[in-house]
Amino acid sequence: MTTEMNGLLIGCGFFSGNHLHGWADVEGARIAAVCDRDADRARGAAETFGIPAWHQDAAVLGSGAFDFVDICTTMDTHEALIAQAVDAGVPVIVQKPFAPDIETCLRIEAHARAAGVPVMVHENFRFQKIFRRLKEILDSGEIGETTFARLSWRNDIDVYSNQPYLLKTERFMIMDVGIHMLDLARFLMGDAADVTCLNQSVRPGLAGEDAATILLRHDSAATTIVDVSYAAHRHPNPFPQTLGEIEGRDGTVQILEGEILRIHSGGATRDEAIAADTRGWTSAPWTQIQDSVPRTEQHFVDALRSGAEFETSAQSSLQTYALAEAAYRSAASGRLIHIADLMKEVRP
């Protein structure tokens, strides 16, 4: 039997419960200690999840006790925390968004690469069961070469109660949900070369945008529309489903409400229901998101053990982040942004 890897989880706030439940479902790793600068949160998480130790200072990364760190804090803290882990030689999985801007992402990636410490961004949407199955269908060639995709996340879930910091976040919707969709677009359709975007601030009083419509041109010449909104009123509320379609030269796959893929190919149509797993700790409407968390964590552990590249390595995530950065630049300037030009400008 292989020994379990010992992890430190940093950040015991709103989303961390899903991480900690998730780690308990992961094979080959466990969380040996939690850390939050807020002592009540750290102690509370340790007690709730039966974790043997809790800390307030991430300097514990230097203790030699940890095989990896799971950073579940907001993006403004990622650079300093990842640097501490990298300097201690501790592999990292860090929540999205990677950092507040692309220059910071580049610094983080360069520092980790120079030290040879693996870093993965926790991008859980691509690990949702429905998108693993959709990717299999695309890879099978059933709908032929892909030409168009629409990935749509529109609902009016009250994110502001659980994540009040979002009210004051200037880069809000694209960083909060758009980045998941952009990662999905890369996963399903490949890298993109050009980006245009229009942003909207629908709910009064926000510091940033709560809706965005992004258009990508992929390297393959396919196009993707990513549209995201926290101000779209529908009953029943489709949260947290990503809906849309992918068209290929020989067929189409629709991503429909109820976690259904409708495949049109060879002159016929069939539905595949790809429901997320319900686990002892998951609860509607969050199940689809929650179930993807241990799947993401398992990928991290499996790749760490085998030495394989993470699907969403720091290096690969720079490409995703560049699309988000380009979306903001396009929305601000009204121009189409070429990713190659953007990267030339921001690389040191």
Ligand X SMILES: NC(=O)c1ccc[n+]([C@@H]2O[C@H](COP(=O)([O-])OP(=O)(O)OC[C@H]3O[C@@H](n4cnc5c(N)ncnc54)[C@H](O)[C@@H]3O)[C@@H](O)[C@H]2O)c1
Does residue 173 bind ligand X (CB under 6 A)?
no
Does residue 58 bind ligand X (CB under 6 A)?
yes
Nearest by Cα to 30 from 54, 15, 48, 9: 9
Nearer to ligand X, 163 or 220 (CB): 163
**To 10 degrees, the CA torsion angle through 238, 176, 83, 45?**
-50
Q: Which of 46, 60, 69, 72 binds ligand X (CB under 6 A)?
A: 72
Q: Which of 8, 20, 69, 95 binds ligand X (CB under 6 A)?
A: 95
94 contacts 82 by C-beta, under 8 angstroms = yes
Interface region with ligand X, contact rule CB under 6 A, candidates 70-78, 103-111, 200-208, 241-249: 70-78
- Residues whose CB is less than 8 angstroms from the CB of residue 64 and which lie 6 or more positions away in sequence, other chains included: none
Q: Which of 8, 22, 69, 124 binds ligand X (CB under 6 A)?
A: 124
Does residue 36 bind ligand X (CB under 6 A)?
yes
Does residue 155 bind ligand X (CB under 6 A)?
no
Q: Which of 54, 60, 96, 316 binds ligand X (CB under 6 A)?
A: 96
Interface region with ligand X, contact rule CB under 6 A, candidates 7-15, 104-112, 271-279, 315-323: 7-15
DSSP track, 192-254: EEEEEEEEE--STT-SS-SEEEEEEEETTS-EEEEEEES----SS--TT--EEEEEESSEEEE
Is residue 81 within a helix (H) or strand (E), and if so which, with residue range?
helix 78-87
Does residue 77 bind ligand X (CB under 6 A)?
yes
Residue identified by tokens 């949407």 is 125
What the block records as the tokens of 80 is 């300093």
Distance, C-alpha 221 to centroid of its chain: 25
Nearer to ligand X, 51 or 81 (CB): 81
Does residue 147 bind ligand X (CB under 6 A)?
no
Does residue 276 bind ligand X (CB under 6 A)?
no
Secondary structure (3-state) at 76 = helix
Q: Which of 20, 26, 75, 151 binds ligand X (CB under 6 A)?
A: 75
Does residue 290 bind ligand X (CB under 6 A)?
no
Nearer to ligand X, 255 or 339 (CB): 255
User: How many residues lie near ligand X (CB under 6 A)?
Assistant: 24
**Cis omega before residue 285 (within 30°)?**
yes
Nearer to ligand X, 23 or 339 (CB): 23
Half-sphere exposure for 227 (CA within 13 Å, toward CB): 12
Interface region with ligand X, contact rule CB under 6 A, candidates 10-18, 200-208, 300-308, 316-324: 10-18
Nearest by Cα to 125 from 151, 160, 91: 151
Nearer to ligand X, 185 or 263 (CB): 185
Separation between Cα atoms, residue 86 and residue 9, nearest integer Å: 15
- Residues whose CB is less than 8 angstroms from the CB of residue 241 and which lie 6 or more positions away in sequence, other chains included: 153, 257, 259, 288
Does residue 281 bind ligand X (CB under 6 A)?
no
Interface region with ligand X, contact rule CB under 6 A, candidates 30-38, 45-53, 111-119, 139-147: 30-38
Does residue 21 bind ligand X (CB under 6 A)?
no
Q: Which of 5, 9, 11, 60 binds ligand X (CB under 6 A)?
A: 11
Q: Closest residue (Cβ) to ligand X?
A: 13
Nearest by Cα to 126 from 146, 96, 92, 147: 96
Name the minimum Å distance from CB 9 to ligand X.
10
Nearer to ligand X, 93 or 215 (CB): 93
Residues of this chain that interact with ligand X (CB under 6 A) are 10-16, 35-38, 41, 58, 72-75, 77, 81, 95-96, 124, 163, 289
